[in-house]
């Protein structure tokens, strides 16, 4: 008989348990859903007009992950700038990722040949440094940054 057909194969001796979902406390799920709904409300608010320029908050999930979001300073000129933005609550161990996006709160001052964007330069457990870069003409354009940080 070929190996594996007589019941003596190493493969036959490995017991593979049935997969099952990890045990999750119902309160933990409800808290995470609540945090998600809070984040959803902030994103909805930021998507609405008029511009929102003063939101900063944080949320801690039951597994310890912390999510923080901040609306950075508004720039209303044609220059490039560096800003240091402080997190609402300092991270305690590590920052996994930081995302930054650029908003134009006042579409009336938009110029099609001017492109502004914010970039992450560096970060610590207490703050993030962003840079407002410009390409195009020297027309003044109002921009703001929305910064999201995730860590422990």
The domains of the chain are located at 20-151
For the domain made up of 20-151, the CATH class stated in words is mainly beta
Model confidence over 11-53: pLDDT tens digits? Answer: 555 555 555 555 445 455 555 666 666 666 666 655 554 444 5
What is the 8-class DSSP label of residue 113? Answer: T
| CA contacts within 13 A on the Cβ side of 32 | 11
Q: Which one has a higher pLDDT value, 136 or 18?
A: 136
In 3D, which of 100, 112, 98 has the Cα closest to residue 141? 112
Whether this prediction's pTM lies above 0.75 is answered by no
């Amino acid at each position: 008989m070929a190996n594996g057909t007589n019941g003596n194969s190493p493969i036959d001796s490995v017991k593979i348990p049935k997969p099952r979902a990890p045990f999750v406390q119902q309160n933990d799920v409800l808290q995470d859903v609540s945090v998600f709904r809070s984040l959803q409300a902030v994103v909805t608010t930021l998507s609405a007009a008029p511009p929102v320029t003063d939101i900063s908050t944080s949320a801690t999930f039951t597994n310890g992950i912390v999510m923080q979001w901040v609306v950075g300073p508004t720039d209303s000129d044609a220059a490039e700038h560096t800003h240091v933005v402080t997190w609402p609550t300092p991270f305690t161990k590590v920052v996994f990722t930081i995302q930054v996006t650029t908003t134009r709160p006042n579409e009336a001052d938009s110029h099609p040949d001017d492109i502004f964007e914010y970039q992450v330069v560096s970060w610590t457990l207490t703050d993030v440094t962003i840079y407002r870069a410009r390409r195009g003409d020297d027309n003044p354009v109002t921009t703001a940054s929305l910064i999201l940080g995730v860590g422990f």
